[in-house]
Amino acid sequence: MKYPVSAVLITKNEEKRIGATLDALQWCDEIIVVDSGSTDTTVAICTAKGCKVTHHPFENFGKQKQLAVSLAKNNWVLAVDADEVLTPALSKEIPEKLFSQNNPYKGYKIKMSHVFMGKVLRFGGESNKTYLRLFDKTAGQFNDKAVHEEVILTGETAVLKNRIMHYSYEDLQDYFTKFNQYTSMAANKLADKNPKATWYIGIKFFITFFQLYFIRGLILDGYNGFVWAMVSSFYPFIKYAKHRELKS
């Protein structure tokens, strides 16, 4: 059965992962895809699975996602990334919540289970976060942040019980490809704010690693947790280092 919910995604060269993501969204009566120049079979896969595909050059994540929202025919919008897969339980829960009588909410936050190197990480904070991904577009929209974009909503929200599985990176090579893109964007954003404490980059790695691995418990996730703590600790370090490079 189809429900009046518009799923929205942005894509570029996601042929290895987009199929599973779209299969979990087939209960939505519309899937909007904004593609920014895929050179693989991403667009063909999306078209074959009944998506409405629009081509638009990439500006930044916030603007790209808001464009997808603006194309949705339904008021209720579910924003999903191409590396995220709804669990069957979540696909069942969403229409039950949305279309119950006297639903007072304008948005719903969803928990993520972070999958890294083939394992669900239980610790580190990633799997305890909630994200506003399901919302009434008449009450909210994405901001235009270059990275770490978010939905700005007017109205009450609730948290759904079930989860999205976040297959964030295919492998370490994929991680560092995205790492380079995201840290460059974040460095440019820092340049606009012009932070002065550039000495901080010397100790940022050690502080972040200690917090993730020991305080937030990634030590309990074995080898995968150790690798995630290491590579995640490099992110803020490289962000600040790139910022300093821009200012030199």
User: For the chain, how are helix, strand and coil distributed in percent, rounded to 5?
Assistant: 45, 25, 30
Please tell me whether residue 230 adopts helix, strand or coil conformation.
Answer: helix
- Domain architecture of the chain: domains with CATH: 3-167 (3.90.550.10), 172-247 (no CATH)
Q: In this structure, are residues 54 and 33 in contact, taking their beta carbons and an 8 Å threshold? A: yes
Q: Is the pTM of this model over 0.75?
A: yes
Query: Can you give the pLDDT at residue 126?
Result: 80
For each successive 10 residues of the chain (248 residues), what is the average pLDDT? 97 96 98 98 98 96 96 98 97 95 93 93 87 97 88 97 92 89 85 63 85 96 96 88 80
Query: Can you give the pLDDT at residue 195?
Result: 60
Query: Can you give the pLDDT at residue 102?
Result: 84
- Reference 235, options 159, 178, 169; nearest CA is 178
- Mean pLDDT, the chain, rounded, equals 92
Query: Can you give the pLDDT at residue 198?
Result: 58
Query: Can you give the pLDDT at residue 197?
Result: 54
Alpha carbon distance, N-terminus to C-terminus of the chain: 58
